[in-house]
Structure 1
Amino acid sequence: MGEIKQVLGSAVPPHTPHAISVSLPTWRDNVGYEEGDARVVNSMVSGYPRFFIHLSIERLAKFCEQKYGIGNERCMLLPTQKIAEDCRSFMHDRSVAVGTPINARLVHVFICPEEAQNGDAAPASKARGCADLHIVLFPADAFPIAKQFWQHTGLGISSRLAETCLALLPKENAAAVQRPTSPVSGRFPSKGHNRHYSSVKSPPTSPVLKPAKFSASSEADELDPDTVYLEERYGRNLPLEAASFAKRVLRSRVAGVLLRDDSAHTHEQKELEVGPSVRGISTVAADDVYLCPTGMSAIWTAHAAARATRPLAKSVCFGFPYTDTLKILEKWGPGCYFLGFGVDSDIDELEKILETEAARDSTKPPILALFTEFPSNPLLRSANLPRIRTLADKYDFLIVIDETIGNFVNVEVLPYADILVSSLTKVFSGASNVMGGSLILNPQGRHYPELKKHFNENFEDVYFDEDAIFMERNSRDFKRRIRVIDTNAEAVCDFLRAHSLAGGASSPAIKEVFYPKYTTRQNYDICRIKSADGGEAGGFGGLFSLTFTSLAASHAFFDALPCYKGPSLGTNFTLACPFTILAHFGELDWAAKYGVEEGLVRISVGMEDSRILLRSFEIALKAAEAALISA
């Protein structure tokens, strides 16, 4: 960790074209990012994909604006017509609420290589195929609302899909992206909010471009022909044409049914050895798992399914969640109740809400669904799931649990959920070079038949094939990686807590260590996986947060910690961020009411040597203590 070179705005991991994080090495850098400081923003070549639109997507969007836009229109790029229509509806509804209706237009572009259009596709063309692109065009000043849809739903196109599209564009069109051109006026007449869906193909005489190449990457992340050969030849990636098989492996892996998890070997036979699920519900099958392009899109999909299958009512957000979960519940449907502490006193409040709403209208459930994280991000609190499950059974509402932080190597929460969601982007992948999410229906749940029918009839697989290839590769050893990360995190947290106010240290710089081992431990242990002999086999995960006795100590600790600094978590390497600054910069006082302090530092522990990790945190601790003394 001490040898890490941190360059402001560079990709994390370095030299990774589809990196999930970005280097923001100091506290000042993070504040500058939130304030839009040109020093920070102009240096960024990467960022978390739901917040920072990948440069390849920006380039493709610019092309689409030039070719299909009218006047100053901007656009969002989405993978299907349905999602594009959802985006347009969201923009219309949000804009009507503030009195300035937005009428967005939809354009469908289907891009094929020249060989495919001429019916003489070469092998390379077959591997990458054609690209389907759905464009939502709108006035430039409406971009912030469109960006909300992109951020909250996680349904924007993949950066790998953007590169596929750019690679298939005719040379003259691709080159035109680099220089301003006059937009095409009147190509598609505006029809207000009426549906307008145009179909366009690339000219059949256009030459085919080879996929764009990037600088060499330690992750071998780019999909140029040489890389594809190396990845497949040495057994890392499945062949690109094996995407459907890779998705079947991923669904089986997430379902916990694989008896032999050797996808690279079994690809030739196309058969997977499966058995009863290890998730606490033995009847879970791969067909109960739905892959999503991001973790947040899994949450959005779960909420949409609840609204489509159950009587409409407010939902409950239980515990302080990652910010976009709450935004989804507030902005789609009739709203939600926010019980932001996530402790038993909030369950008491929940019971009062349920009783009041049931008395007001006994013909329907008092709430739609309860959403909670297990444990929560960033305070690592674990809800009392048995008590909540009892209320759900009594009052007939759905429970949606986000297990991203706990993960099913450590905890068993599916028996308490109707729908289980997770961000596969995090520790399931670990490599921080691909996005993904999963959603599982509990086949033993009371509402499984209606939910299953809804998904059978409405679910769209929009997980881009090349992302699935990388996710499959990355996740083959996730169980082994989690064990290492669990061990490392527990050692670091024990060290830091011994030097904290909560741990009884005198004049400490650290106030509290938020970690499932010390935070709502009883609730966590209820779901913590036990070994065959009754002992505890599940760990406490790799994420923890720190609060400090002064802001100066917090800043000093963060700046001195010799690890990567940037958004995201669950990486194979240690990654830290000033969580409240990044997630709640515009609402610091509100977050503080729920214990999410301005100076909170969130740390995701990686797989480094434990001795090196402990020395690194000792360096940061000494810096924080020195800042406390000099303050």
Structure 2
Amino acid sequence: MASKLGDAIPNEEHAVSVSLPKWKHVEGWARRDHGIISQLQTGYPRFFINRRIVQLAQQLGRWASRLPRDDACYRAATASGKTALLLPSKWMALTCQAHLDGYNKEAPLEDLQVVHVAFDGQLSRVTGHGQQGAAEGASHRDLYMVLYPERLWPQAKAFWQHTGFGISSRLAAHWLGNAPFLQASGLEGGERVPVQEAAQAALALGQRLADLYEAGRDLVFLYPTGMSAIARTALAIRSLQQSGHEHRVAVFGFLYVDTFKVLTEAGLSIDALYTEFAGNPLLGSLDLGRLHALSQTHGFVLAVDDTVGTPVNLCLAPLCDVVCSSLTKMFSGACNVMGGCAVVSPSSPRRQALCQALAAHQQQSGGPATYFASDLVVMERNSRDFALRVAAASRNAQQLSLRLRRHPAVKTVYYPLGSPTQHLYDCYRRPGAGYGYLLSPGHQL
């Protein structure tokens, strides 16, 4: 385990966690202290754009600068003060462009350009604006550069963070090592993308999740990140509403902050209610049965994030319309790949409509290939012992919570077992299952 500030955890190229060994480092990271941030070798990919992705964006910009000066892509990529986000599909790129245009009041739309980059180095501007007509299947041999003025960096970073749409570090590494126009030899590298293995991995992952949630395989939808699962589910739910209808969303409980932000940005301004079980980081439980009854009475979609609870410990699907979960955390367990899922409840009266909306939106936004093949293969391999790890981690967390509650320096321990809402957690806990792998201690000042 790495212990030095900024070291990757684990010590590998595609790690999704970083060492912050002291509390002052955590505080510095939260304040975006340059002295702390500059020492980080990596970080959680939505908060910290992997260095391989940054390197690829820079190389693509240099490649565009070799074009004739009257070429539209040359002008777009080399304009003073421009920088780029790399996204895997045309729809995602146009969505990003439209988002940034809302903040681009000082200049015309020409400040925001989308350039398609083919694996052989061919560049072409993507014309049009917004998401209409943007449906186009993604491929690991195509990338999209969203070029924007540096002054819009905070908004671009927020889009990257709150949607989970950015390319993965494995996809960036594949391009850097194999795209022929990026090689000194001018020849395509020999690394093979495991397309067939990824197709089998997707089937295995889908069935694994279906078994855990006691649902059909056709009710499971995979996404490259947990936040993209939430963002794209929110957009799919919005599409179910009639045109011109004012969309309203309720957030119940103490939601993970980025979930709240992406729901706000999605334009769901009650047609849907989002909640977590258990909550992160206070680990509170809620009366999901009551919320479910209200959703049936008043006709709103109930979506639950069970990343912390897990389907190993809890049976939540019968009491909601759709479950969203980050697969990056315990499901992967190896801290080296991202992923997310949405599972439509087999008992939801909106099951068919939700499945159709999710499937249609997945195709519109680029299709299953937005989840890079190599990432899928790693996720499937990592998750084979998911249930065993959840059981072991839950036992360990329970023992740790008991010890910490007896410690004089600890003011409180937020954990489902022993909490004021334990009785609600127990309502949905599977027989013999635990209370989860996450706890949050509060220290005496």
Where in structure 2 are the equivalents of 1:340-489 lying within 5 Å? Answer: 367-459=270-362, 460-461=367-368, 462-489=370-397
Q: Tell me by how many angstroms 1:546 deviates.
A: 1.0
Output the amino acid matched with 2:145.
I
Conserved 8 A contact 1:104-1:138: yes
Whole-Å Cα distance in 1 between the matches of residues 398 and 104 of structure 2? 47
Alignment CA distance shift 1:438-1:81 (3 Å): same
Residue 250 of structure 1 corresponds to which residue in structure 2? 205
Residue 12 of structure 1 corresponds to which residue in structure 2? 9
1:206 equivalent in alignment to 2:214? no
Conserved 8 A contact 1:312-1:368: no
Residue 153 of structure 1 corresponds to which residue in structure 2? 163
Pick from 43, 61, 64 the counterpart of residue 60 of structure 2.
64
Pick from 93, 102, 110 the counterpart of residue 93 of structure 1.
102
Where in structure 2 are the equivalents of 1:7-406 lying within 5 Å? Answer: 7-13=4-10, 15-68=11-64, 69-71=77-79, 72-95=81-104, 103-112=111-120, 131-170=141-180, 173=182, 206-210=186-190, 241-256=196-211, 279=213, 282=214, 284-310=215-241, 311-335=245-269, 367-406=270-309
Pick from 386, 403, 414 the counterpart of residue 514 of structure 1.
414
Residue 221 of structure 1 corresponds to which residue in structure 2? none
- Unmatched runs of 5 consecutive residues or more in structure 1: 115-128, 176-204, 212-224, 229-238, 257-277, 336-366, 500-507, 531-536, 551-631
Whole-Å Cα distance in 2 between the matches of residues 101 and 527 of structure 1? 53
TM-score normalised to structure 1 length: 0.62
Q: Tell me by how many angstroms 1:371 deviates.
A: 0.5
Residue 127 of structure 2 corresponds to which residue in structure 1? none
Higher Rg of the two aligned structures: 1
Whole-Å Cα distance in 2 between the matches of residues 457 and 315 of structure 1? 21
Whole-Å Cα distance in 2 between the matches of residues 416 and 240 of structure 1? 36
Give a deviation string over 1:409-442, Cα, whole Å, max 9, x none. Answer: 1000001111111000011110000000011112
SS of residue in 1 equivalent to 2:49? coil
Q: Tell me by how many angstroms 1:100 deviates.
A: 6.5
Residue 132 of structure 2 corresponds to which residue in structure 1? none
Output the amino acid matched with 1:549.
Q
Whole-Å Cα distance in 1 between the matches of residues 343 and 120 of structure 2? 34
Q: Tell me by how many angstroms 1:50 deviates.
A: 0.2
Output the amino acid matched with 2:410.
I
Whole-Å Cα distance in 2 between the matches of residues 444 and 483 of structure 1? 27
Conserved 8 A contact 2:250-2:273: yes
Alignment CA distance shift 1:36-1:475 (3 Å): same
SS of residue in 1 equivalent to 2:297? helix
Q: Tell me by how many angstroms 1:446 deviates.
A: 1.7
Output the amino acid matched with 1:10.
D
Q: Percent identity?
A: 38
Alignment CA distance shift 1:245-1:112 (3 Å): farther
Output the amino acid matched with 2:371.
Y
Alignment CA distance shift 1:315-1:306 (3 Å): same
Residue 437 of structure 2 corresponds to which residue in structure 1? 542
Alignment CA distance shift 1:292-1:443 (3 Å): same
Conserved 8 A contact 2:234-2:263: yes
- Unmatched runs of 5 consecutive residues or more in structure 2: 65-76, 123-138
Give a deviation string over 1:176-198, Cα, whole Å, max 9, x none. Answer: xxxxxxxxxxxxxxxxxxxxxxx
Alignment CA distance shift 1:174-1:318 (3 Å): farther
SS of residue in 2 equivalent to 1:444? coil
Output the amino acid matched with 2:414.
F
Give a deviation string over 1:93-122, Cα, whole Å, max 9, x none. Answer: 2445xx7776411111110499xxxxxxxx
Residue 429 of structure 2 corresponds to which residue in structure 1? 528
SS of residue in 2 equivalent to 1:471? helix
Whole-Å Cα distance in 2 between the matches of residues 79 and 419 of structure 1? 26
Whole-Å Cα distance in 1 between the matches of residues 34 and 99 of structure 2? 31
Conserved 8 A contact 1:299-1:421: yes
Whole-Å Cα distance in 2 between the matches of residues 110 and 437 of structure 1? 27
Whole-Å Cα distance in 2 between the matches of residues 444 and 34 of structure 1? 41
Whole-Å Cα distance in 1 between the matches of residues 216 and 143 of structure 2? 32
Q: Tell me by how many angstroms 1:314 deviates.
A: 1.8
SS of residue in 1 equivalent to 2:294? helix
Output the amino acid matched with 1:207.
L
Conserved 8 A contact 1:384-1:523: yes
Conserved 8 A contact 1:113-1:207: no
Whole-Å Cα distance in 2 between the matches of residues 394 and 94 of structure 1? 39
Output the amino acid matched with 1:56.
R
Conserved 8 A contact 2:413-2:440: yes
Q: Tell me by how many angstroms 1:34 deviates.
A: 3.2
Alignment CA distance shift 1:27-1:174 (3 Å): farther
Whole-Å Cα distance in 1 between the matches of residues 442 and 405 of structure 2? 11
Bigger CA drift: 45-54 or 102-111? 102-111
Whole-Å Cα distance in 2 between the matches of residues 396 and 524 of structure 1? 25
Whole-Å Cα distance in 2 between the matches of residues 412 and 323 of structure 1? 24
Whole-Å Cα distance in 2 between the matches of residues 329 and 95 of structure 1? 22
Residue 498 of structure 1 corresponds to which residue in structure 2? 406
Bigger CA drift: 519-528 or 99-108? 99-108
Whole-Å Cα distance in 1 between the matches of residues 140 and 101 of structure 2? 31
Matched residues, number: 406
Whole-Å Cα distance in 1 between the matches of residues 140 and 426 of structure 2? 49
Alignment CA distance shift 1:312-1:324 (3 Å): same
Alignment RMSD, CA only?
2.2
TM-score normalised to structure 2 length: 0.86
Conserved 8 A contact 1:113-1:130: no
Conserved 8 A contact 2:397-2:438: yes
Runs of at least 4 residues off by over 4 Å: 99-103
Residue 202 of structure 1 corresponds to which residue in structure 2? none
Q: Tell me by how many angstroms 1:334 deviates.
A: 4.6
Output the amino acid matched with 2:338.
M
Conserved 8 A contact 2:236-2:361: no
